[in-house]
Amino acid sequence: MKNLKSILESRKNKQGKGFIRHEFQDFGYRLALALGDLRHKALYIKLAKEEDRVLLKEALNFTLDYPKARSRGKIFMWKLKELKGGDKK
């Protein structure tokens, strides 16, 4: 198993400039890739930094269960809000 430093170094070499310096940035970028929403990768990096990983992973798994979803980002954000308890009526 590789350590985190070697993983980030290998990603840095592949990208050229190496904008990813921290683990939460890598996780947020992988979230954006999985959701097919690279346009909003800054949002996912911020969520990876500030939100609980368990909630993010649960919302991602829920979202990936919709193979024909037009906007996975919307489904992800809705599920994350629901998991956090923000959908109070």
* pLDDT for residue 16: 47
Segment 3-53, tens digit of pLDDT: 877 877 776 555 544 578 899 999 999 999 999 999 999 999 999 999 999
Segment 46-83, tens digit of pLDDT: 999 999 999 999 999 999 998 888 899 999 999 999 99
- Residue spans of the domains in the chain: they are 4-84
The 3-state secondary structure of the chain reads CCCHHHHHHHHHHHHCCCCCCCHHHHHHHHHHHHHCCHHHHHHHHHHHHHCCHHHHHHHHHHHHCCCCCCCHHHHHHHHHHHHHCCCCC
